[in-house]
Amino acid sequence: MNGEVPAYGLWGLVVINSAVFVIFAFSFFKPRTRRDWRSFGAFSAFIVALFTEMYGFPLTIYLLSGWL
């Protein structure tokens, strides 16, 4: 067996990357109305889900493991 570390479970990286991207987006798009905040929240949720899937927990593999 090789001693490679798996590329998931890196929750610190998920938090840091999500925060950087959301703060960067907030610096350009400052929501004012309720609708703007809703759109920004949807974007933030997408970013968090993206980095959670990428570095945190492979949800697609987990969901498909029972079917495969």
Residue type, 13: L
Q: What whole-number distance in Å separates Cα of residue 54 and Cα of residue 44?
A: 15
At 8-60, the pLDDT tens digits run 788 899 999 999 999 999 999 999 999 999 999 999 999 999 999 888 887 77
Six token digits for residue 10: 């890196």
Q: SS3 sequence, 27-59?
A: HHCCCCCHHHHHHHHHHHHHHHHHHHHHHHCCH
Query: Do the beta carbons of residue 25 and residue 43 sit within 8 Å?
Result: yes
Q: What whole-number distance in Å separates Cα of residue 52 and Cα of residue 45?
A: 10
Question: What's the pLDDT score for residue 41?
Answer: 96
